[in-house]
Amino acid sequence: MAMGKYSRVDGRKSSKWCSTVTIVVFVGFCLVGVWMLMSSSSGVAAPNSDVSAQEPKEVKQKVVEKFSKPYEDISGDLPEDTGKEEHPESSQDGSTSNVEDSQNLLENVEGKNESEEDSKREAETDEDAKSEDNKSNSGDRESNSEGGESNSGDGDSNSSGEDKRMSETETSTNEQQESEDSPSESTSNPDGGESKTDVDSSVEEDQSKDQASNEGFPAGAQSEILKETTADSGAWSTQAAESQSEKESQKSPLSKDQNGYKWKLCNVTAGPDYIPCLDNVQVIKKLPSTNHYEHRERHCPDEAPTCLVPLPEGYKQPVRWPRSREQIWYSNVPHTKLADVKGHQNWVKVSGDHLTFPGGGTQFKHGALHYIDFIQKSLSKIAWGNRTRVILDVGCGVASFGGYLFDRDVLAMSLAPKDEHEAQVQFALERGIPAISAVMGTKRLPFPSKVFDVVHCARCRVPWHIEGGKLLLELNRVLRPGGYFVWSATPVYQKLPEDVGIWKAMSELTKSMCWELLVVNNDKLNQVGVAIYRKPMSNQCYEKREQNEPPLCKEDDDPDAVWNVQLQACMHKVPVGASDRGKQLPKPWPLRLGKPPYWLTSSQVGVYGKAAPEDFTADYEHWQRVVSTSYLNGLGIDWSSVRNVMDMRAVYGGFAAALRDLKVWVMNVVTIDSPDTLPLIYERGLFGIYHDWCESFSTYPRSYDLVHADHVFSNLKKRCKLEAVIAEVDRILRPEGKLIVQDSVETIAEVEKMAKSLQWKIRLTYSNDSEGLLCVQKTLWRPTEAEAIFSAIA
């Protein structure tokens, strides 16, 4: 046949018969060629088409395979380090993908073996299809696998190829279905994954069977598929993952776009100063009375908001402590009314683009430090920073008193009502001074009984003497036996008729409460006076009273039950048992910080299951290690920029205790559904508050530089919406502020996803078995779309 072909090319002469034979042979040869092409198309081209069509499916199957065993060795499925580069858009270390993987562990176990079967079968087919073109590349499979590994992170370079394969996939659905339905022949290891040795041996065995009819097929074809799979896998999802995402979307109150959660700005009357539980305008309008400051108490909306509070125009990074005690940016708290009203008393003044705080107050125009020393001289036993460590400052104004008490190593819990004087608590927090928005109204304060060493009131405008002394009796509840009440007000030193009447009423009331008036002294510089009372340390005086007024509380009345509990005009007895809390004064500061209090006995079981004193000590040592080895050095936080710190779940206050040597203060929160350890926190010379994180905290937006959440969110998910809690964290956290989360890997993954949707910076993620650590940083980003919160619109 070759001669017949070349006879025409050579131009040789032939007879008519030869020409006819030549034509017939040529036509026959053409028919044979057409038949061979058709046979080749069905026998070779189809497998190639099938492989290309199945490549996108292989990508999906491999993702399922990876997700199904996040912490196991997957070298039999992918090159050793492939998982590290599959998702370049993920967080800064490999632990984040592991966190996400754990959520899909159970869902994808069944699909794993089927996926591995398809991978092996497609690898074999690909070897057959590419033998003639790749014969020179038939090196061992392992070296090619390493080549695949080196390219596994380069997903972008193959994007055009991905699009081409996707179009090929659309034309090859039937071939995919046939491949999916084929029976599995792979050998699985005990963990459900196919081992590398089994894969290689089975491929080589099948290769040898087909070698007679498919000579020259490259041994490295399987690694080529793996290389493409790992390069493309970041762009693909699985049906299980898509279904799970849709289920989560249906559960969430927020609409979601392709980038995650879709957040909106809060459209409210309070604007950038919105506090959901204190700005519920619709409830406040319907209050039957405001005579007892009911309109300043907490009235939380039925559903916690999931919107984000806007920033004030021109917001800047806060001035750092200690300079912030004297000046803050006006643009951060753009209110001047208080400067107009109280400027002459050296509360606050406007100075260019700053608000300045000369350190004065209504009772200490010439500075808080002079006033603090005046109190010490009036009663030396107060002993600031030694016997007296934690105080309550009622009606704090801009909290200069508490701000300068830091110089005496004293913590002041300052409180004042929202808006009574414009933004006074917000000024305090912006200055780096602890404060909360609260009022002495109709409910107990959110503090345990018998915890404050001193309660201070300087012109706090609280009518202590009315209604049977109900408000003063609340101070008696929170003041520890032997503690002091420091009262600096006009009835102490002025002789106007109204002042004289109030002084007389207070004298009768305090005497009936068995408070001892220790000293009345006048400050000539500030032209004010102070009266200092002491609460009794025994019940003898109560038992000797001629009249039971104010009455003693009932025996079953728990003085530590405070969450939404109404005030009562009664007194609780002083503890009498030798091991009862309040029977003795705590040890002097700072000895009280690291030692278990006397009333914590070995017969009690601690929060973590050990004997209470041992539990306390173990917790203290634990946080010392964590803070010194990880938090201070391992998170990349500039701690000189951190002043106001919130611990959302404080337990024993170990985290706050570990930060003692830093220039920070920590608001320790004990949640209402956790063991009541707040009295112990106060006993060791720290302070805190009860709270329910399903509601907003009583503070202004942008109050804290750092929020610490140790196993908070996983517990909260059982009671309330995590999106609302994260929105609340966003509200109280300053831009550039940090959130540190320790929790289960599943919860860490959820929080990280929401943080990314908020445009927060992911500073660190780490996981170990089922536990994870996350550190994120809030940014200045705010959404553009707004959501009206009708409960907060006047």
Is there a contact between 637 and 659 (Cβ–Cβ < 8 Å)? no
600 and 721 part of one domain: yes
94 and 195 part of one domain: yes
209 and 100 part of one domain: yes
Distances from the Cα of 434 to the Cαs of 228, 392, 565, 664, in angstroms?
57, 11, 24, 10
Nearest CA to 432 out of 664, 699, 687 is that of 664
pLDDT in the model for residue 28: 73
Mean pLDDT of 441-464: 96
Which amino acid appears at position 361 of this protein? G
Beta strands in 664-730 (DSSP E): 665-671, 688-691, 704-710
Asked whether residue 464 carries a pLDDT value surpassing 60, the answer given is yes
Greater confidence, 716 or 91? 716
Mean pLDDT of 31-46: 55
Domain presence at residue 322: no
536 and 645 part of one domain: no
605 and 701 part of one domain: yes
Domain presence at residue 772: yes
pLDDT in the model for residue 256: 54
Mean pLDDT of the chain: 78
Residue 115's pLDDT band (cuts 50, 70, 90): very low
Asked whether residue 214 carries a pLDDT value surpassing 50, the answer given is no
Residue 105's pLDDT band (cuts 50, 70, 90): very low
Domain presence at residue 256: no
* Residue range 724-753, pLDDT digits in tens: 999 999 999 999 999 999 999 999 999 999
Residue 200's pLDDT band (cuts 50, 70, 90): very low
Nearest CA to 232 out of 101, 52, 492, 10 is that of 52
pLDDT in the model for residue 560: 98
CATH number of the CATH domain containing 628: 3.40.50.150
97-111 burial: b if 16+ Cβ within 10 Å, else e: bbbbbbbbeebbbeb
- Pick from 516, 544, 572: which residue ends a domain? 544
How far apart are the C-alpha atoms of 280 and 698, rounded to whole Å? 13
613 and 499 part of one domain: no
Domain presence at residue 559: no
Asked whether residue 189 carries a pLDDT value surpassing 90, the answer given is no
| Residue 522, beta-bridge partner list | 529
pLDDT in the model for residue 128: 47
Domain presence at residue 110: yes
Asked whether residue 419 carries a pLDDT value surpassing 90, the answer given is no
pLDDT in the model for residue 311: 98
624 and 762 part of one domain: yes
Is there a contact between 303 and 787 (Cβ–Cβ < 8 Å)? no
Greater confidence, 137 or 265? 265
479 and 597 part of one domain: no
536 and 612 part of one domain: no
* Residue range 668-691, pLDDT digits in tens: 999 999 999 999 999 999 999 999
Domain presence at residue 583: no
For 279-293, 333-347, 351-365, 411-425, which range has the lowest pLDDT when averaged over its residues?
A: 333-347
Asked whether residue 72 carries a pLDDT value surpassing 70, the answer given is no
Greater confidence, 419 or 82? 419
What are the residues whose beta carbons fall under 8 Å from the beta carbon of 138, sequence distance 6 or more?
216, 218, 219, 220
User: How many other CB atoms sit within 10 Å of the CB of residue 587?
Assistant: 16
- Pick from 237, 256, 271: which residue ends a domain? 237
How far apart are the C-alpha atoms of 197 and 728, rounded to whole Å? 52
Give the DSSP per-residue string, 647-670.
ESS-TTTHHHHHTTTSS-EEEEEE
- Please tell me the total count of domains within the chain: 3
Residue 343's pLDDT band (cuts 50, 70, 90): low
pLDDT in the model for residue 150: 40
- Pick from 215, 237, 259: which residue ends a domain? 237
**Torsion angles phi and psi, residue 479, rounded to 5:** -80, 130
Domain presence at residue 141: yes
635 and 779 part of one domain: yes
* Residue range 356-400, pLDDT digits in tens: 998 877 788 888 999 999 999 999 999 999 999 999 999 998 999
Is there a contact between 223 and 134 (Cβ–Cβ < 8 Å)? no
Asked whether residue 255 carries a pLDDT value surpassing 80, the answer given is no
pLDDT in the model for residue 111: 38
How far apart are the C-alpha atoms of 653 and 596, rounded to whole Å? 12
Q: Which two tokens stand for residue 173?
A: 């659905």
> What residues make up the domain containing 716?
591-792
Q: Is the dihedral of CA 376, 682, 279, 567 positive or negative?
A: negative
pLDDT in the model for residue 344: 66
Is there a contact between 455 and 478 (Cβ–Cβ < 8 Å)? yes
Asked whether residue 328 carries a pLDDT value surpassing 90, the answer given is yes
Burial of 524 (0-12, 13-18, 19+ CB in 10 A): exposed
Nearest CA to 792 out of 423, 229, 269 is that of 269
475 and 609 part of one domain: no
Greater confidence, 133 or 666? 666
What are the residues whose beta carbons fall under 8 Å from the beta carbon of 367, sequence distance 6 or more?
346, 358, 359, 360, 404
pLDDT in the model for residue 423: 84
511 and 614 part of one domain: no
Residue 263's pLDDT band (cuts 50, 70, 90): very high
